[in-house]
Amino acid sequence: MDINPLDTEQIGLKTLEKHLIRSRSEVSLKIGIPREHSNDERRVCLTPGGVAILKANGHDIYIEKGAGDEAKFSDRDYADSGAEIAFSSEDVFKKSELILKVAPLSDEEIEYVQPNQSIISALHLGNQKPEYFEALTKKSITGIGYEFIRGSDGEFPIVRMMHEITGSMSVQIAAHYMENLSGGQGVMLGGISGVPPATVVILGAGITAEYAARTALGYGAQVFVMDNDLAALRRLENDLDRRIITAVANTQYLSHALKFTDVIIGAVMAEGDRSPCLVTDEMVASMKPGSVIVDTVIDQGGCIATSRATTHSNPVFQVHDVTHYCVPNIPSNVARTATNALNNVLVPYVLAVGEAGGIKECLWENVALRNGTYVYKNHLTKKSLSKMFNMPYREIEMLIASQI
């Protein structure tokens, strides 16, 4: 196959194929990909190239009709790669033992879940209730959450991929809503000769914050990064050649900074927990009219008191004359890029399940997937979720060791 040197998707696919096409797996998995129906979700878990790799390793893939449409992957693309096209979500769930999703299960999808199935998807802790976990444990489901998948190196690969996209996109979004036609101040982020740039305050010093800072600096904005983790601030300051201004995110500094900022990017994360709320209603009220808030952690509860979840079809609202953009799934708006990124991380994990001989055997061997498991059989397996929802839990290692 001839490859256009500028076609980055094909280059990425060939690189993935080089490393992943192997002999047939220990077991043949039946993998289901239902169409996403919630919150303007446009991504899909696998590309046709990913399907081809899994098929070459002896697995069967069932994908719901139209699942890849929003990411510009057609049913024909998937069928040509070896997938079977299913005509309903219910059909996908009935035929599959491993379900790959982007968004958490909807109430309707929970009804479709078969006993002892395995589900790999996002969890969106800020929107979950105890009933979600109770429904999965009743059906003896193995649930693996993107937010918890962490390798032995301490890295969260899926979270990192999506946070890189989110960070970059958050600044593009803010620049758009700073324009007059969007109700903003009519200010360019970067300014021009003789006109000072806009000021961007980024809350948090993690991956989302890093990519937001890189993008904002690329626009030419003045960038402040605020967090309570001095080591993270120091690391980010060094990584960005000291082109950012850093400060501890205490009330004094926040109150002062928010009075003159043009944009706030909320990116404060708490691993396996809701995001801490750093910005109060009074602080938002002190901001300049026409300023913009992009709360990128709204799916974890948000880090700004005035934030509430919105959707891509109705993304913004005003509080104190400040525009709030609080869409939980920002990467969904660049669905093709996000799908390729998700595929590149998920395919090796699915292959690992097949090579190990099934999900239980794989959890013994694969640290990342074991860390990612939040329900196993009839038990909640995360202490943080137990505290958050006041539910009993058991350690995943104990459950596997006891042959449950």
pLDDT of residue 329: 85
Q: How many structural domains are present in the chain? A: 2
**In the predicted model, what is the mean pLDDT of residues 72-91?**
97
- Do 64 and 151 lie in one domain? The reply is yes
pLDDT of residue 1: 45
At residue 22, what are phi and psi to the nearest 5 degrees?
A: -135, -165
- Do 34 and 126 lie in one domain? The reply is yes
User: Average pLDDT, whole number, for the chain?
Assistant: 91
Give residue-wise pLDDT tens across range 116-131.
999 999 988 767 889 9
**In the predicted model, what is the mean pLDDT of residues 335-345?**
96
Written as one string, the DSSP assignment of 61-117 is EEEETTTTGGGT--HHHHHHTTPEEESSHHHHHHH-SEEE-SSPPPHHHHHHPPTT-
- Do 312 and 352 lie in one domain? The reply is no
Domain at 187, CATH number: 3.40.50.720
Provide the residue range defining the domain that includes 177. 160-327
Give residue-wise pLDDT tens across range 223-269.
999 999 999 999 999 999 999 999 999 999 999 999 999 999 999 98
* Catalytically active residues, by annotation: 124, 299
- Do 55 and 195 lie in one domain? The reply is no
- Do 313 and 351 lie in one domain? The reply is no
- Do 259 and 223 lie in one domain? The reply is yes
pLDDT of residue 8: 56
Does 400 score more than 90 pLDDT? no
Final residue belonging to a domain, choices 327, 350, 383: 327
Query: Measuring CA to CA, which residue among 388, 11, 366 is closest to residue 157?
Result: 366
**In the predicted model, what is the mean pLDDT of residues 317-344?**
95
Does 403 score more than 80 pLDDT? no
